[in-house]
Copies of this chain bind each other. A is one copy, B any other.
Amino acid sequence: MVSTQKKADKTYKVIGTRPVRPDGVDKVTGRAKYGADIQLPGMLFGRVLRSPHAHAIIKKIDTSKALALPGVKSVITHKDLPTAADAALNLGETTDNLKWISDKVLAAEDALFHGQALAAVAAVDKHIAEDALALIDVEYEILEPVLSVHTAMDKKTPSIHDNMKTVDMIARFQVGEISETQINNVASILDLELGDLDAGFKEADIIIEREFETGTYHQGYIESHNGTAQWNENDEVTVWLSTQGAFNARDQLAALLQVPMSKIKVIPMEIGGGFGGKIPMYMEPLAAIMSKQTGKPVKMHMQRDEVLLATGPTSATYIKVKVGAKNDGTIVAADAYLAYEAGAYPGSPVSGGGVSMFMPYAIPNVRALCLDVIVNKTKTAAYRAPGVPAAAFAIESIIDELAEKLEIDPIAIRMHNAAEEGTRRHDGVLAPSMAVKELLEEAQATEHWNAELSDPSIGRGIAIGAWGNGGMESSASASINSDGTINLNTGSVDIGGQRASLAMQLAETLGVEYDSIKPQVVDTDSIGYTAVSAGSRTTFATGIAVIEVGNKIKKQIINRVATFWEIDANALKYNDDGSVSSPDKIINFKEIAAMLPNTGGRIQASIDIQATTHVPTIACHIVDVKVDEETGKVDILRSTALQDVGKAIHPAYVEGQTQGGILQGIGMALYEEYYYDDKGILKNASLLDYRMPTSYDVPFTEIILVEKPNPGHPFGVKGVGEVPIVPPLAAVANAIYDAVGVRPNILPVNPRRLSVLLKEKNNK
């Protein structure tokens, strides 16, 4: 991989190196334990009956024939959910209310999307469970499905949820109260405004208004969802699963199963990809309930079609953006209307899109109206920088068009409007440290950007994007062994190399070797609360927890050595190499560790922190495409990613994140898409038909890491996992325009769509 790293000023001993990951050997030798590896005595296998209809009233479910099949031990429907009996849950007021979470797990009155779970079976083997599904009789009253945000919001369309109240997010966030309006199938509205939009547009010399659409994209993790539950006779529940957040899973399960949190032990197995999609609960509550009914552990493992039908994906979107600029390129006003498909239950990432799309720029007059729209499709889930790639596609396409029309270099126009520290944003925040200019300067200087294009059918595009990494709660604990090695525990599931990146931060803090630290991901009984490994937060926020644990340990070491030497602690210094010295003595880390057992016991520390400093990271993508005008096929010829990473703890992992994010963004731009028929039936629920890019489609991306340290993290870390997915959609679209003079406004711009655009252009 060609990779360049622009170093931050400060140098470190461990941070910035590229050691082997602690989980590497287990993963390459097949010893790492995934959920599929769980085998328990007497274990049953569960399967789910899914709705063949996108919208139907469930008039009756008869499970008697299925239950009578030899080998079948349990058949459950919504009425078996502990939440079903609790009418108080049926509030319908917030996006995360328990009624909807419960209905999504097993449908209550209606099936609201193709593939929705209606019943579950546990049997002695998975084939019997499969056979039993066919014996469940469901009587439906089929309704017309609502399949687009436009239809959904049409006054003539019936409400999908009778009692749903639209939540005004501004009121909710700002005043702490919820004001309710009745907008058709809109679950929530977020209306962000800054400055005076009308006045802004009056100042403009040029105004461009465009509409954009993006498709439904799945996260595409290799490992499908799985969960095994064992409900003991004393109502203690153990769940093994593939999740991005064991505590989040535990708390969801506690709510769904109506048991105390302490009675649920969630054991996060290794995870074969998540990208945001392994946060919600799907089958785990069903496995738990069937385990309770049968007294046996129950294992469930989705087939690939179920993953595509009923988990993930991200929202299909409709975005309209109007931008006004002066002739010198100054953007004076921007007005965005974003309507995102939530799927059958509330909760799209539209607000993320509406907030982040303008984050790289300083625009004085801005509005973003964000609508969360219910449709009869699978409930969406978070997907890497949720909601932002689509929104960045919109704004970055328009900026490219502005640059073209105003005859300004595309990097220059972005530089001219770049947000800086102190820029007032439309979400009310004063921007913290921003690296837009630094990144654009590096982009300007790349060999790629300055290379000649060899062929008129080749175009080059550029786009940037922002994502503010998450903070949230993390715990860590560490303990020194008497030989100087250290055990480190966190509750952050390791998706992207967290064991290594966290061990490195502790090693740096304590001044010890990376190899002397043994990091471990533990279950929910074994450490304090830790939020999901998502939002690019883990290396940042759990990193802060780990550093704080290191600092607590250092303090104890100083005090212990002071007692041992009978000297005032203030006279001691903890050195960079882990030794402690007084003006006339020194003791190294191994010697300190060896003396601990006989001087009061070994030293350990634990902490629970809430990270609050959110510094956006900025990514830039430069891409060369070759378009075959005859077929509409687009080939990616060259790809360069620049990314502001604060400080790269383990540069190889950061590069891996960037490489993957770029690839997924290109997938959204060119290849991937859910195909629904007019009845709302998903027609391509397989990886043969749902077309993800592979290494055959896309060349390796050249990666340039730019280090502008995050002032909110002791080592300057910024979250890096998500932002690389943001710019490629627009970069590819802009490159296509550069190549063939048409601006794709609907993604993915597959050969069919591009052919239409090329035909329109040629017919003009």
Contact = CB atoms under 8 A, between A and B. Distances in A.
Interface in A25-68: 25-26, 29, 31, 37, 39, 41
B29 A262 contact: no
A313 B34 CA distance: 42
Nearest to A491: B479
A503 to B, nearest CB: 10
Given A260-B485, A262-B516, A518-B263, A232 B529 contact: no
A263 B232 contact: no
Interface size on A, as a range, is 35 or more
Given A261-B481, A527-B604, 5 more contacts: A26-B232, A236-B518, A262-B516, A489-B525, A529-B602
Interface in A125-175: none
A526 B528 contact: no
Interface in A379-437: none
A233 interface: yes
A260 B516 CA distance: 8
Contact of A525 (B29, B230, B254, B520): B520
Contacts of A485: 260-263
Contact of A604 (B31, B525, B604, B608): B608
A475 interface: yes
A694 interface: no
Nearest to A37: B41
Residue among A232, A263, A518 with the highest chain B CB neighbour number at 10 A: A518
Nearest to A597: B473
A745 interface: no
11 contacts: A20-B234, A25-B234, A31-B232, A261-B482, A262-B481, A262-B483, A262-B485, A262-B517, A529-B601, A529-B604, A603-B608
A483 B261 contact: yes
A527 B263 CA distance: 20
Contacts of A486: 262
A479 B475 contact: yes
A139 B31 CA distance: 40
User: Lowest 8 CB-CB distances: which A-B pairs, in order?
Assistant: A262-B485, A528-B604, A262-B518, A25-B234, A606-B606, A261-B481, A479-B528, A601-B610
A506 interface: no
Interface in A585-634: 597, 600-610
Given A262-B516, A485-B263, A610 B606 contact: no
Interface string A228-270: 0010111010000000000000010010000011110000000
A39 B260 CA distance: 31
Interface in A280-329: none
A522 interface: yes
A525 B487 contact: yes
A477 interface: yes
A476 to B, nearest CB: 10
A526 B526 contact: yes
Contacts of A605: 606
Given A25-B233, A604-B606, A526 B262 contact: no
Contacts of A37: 41
A579 to B, nearest CB: 19
Contact of A29 (B233, B254, B489): B233
A261 to B, nearest CB: 4
Contacts of A39: 39
Contacts of A475: 479, 602, 604
A126 B25 CA distance: 29
B522 A479 contact: no
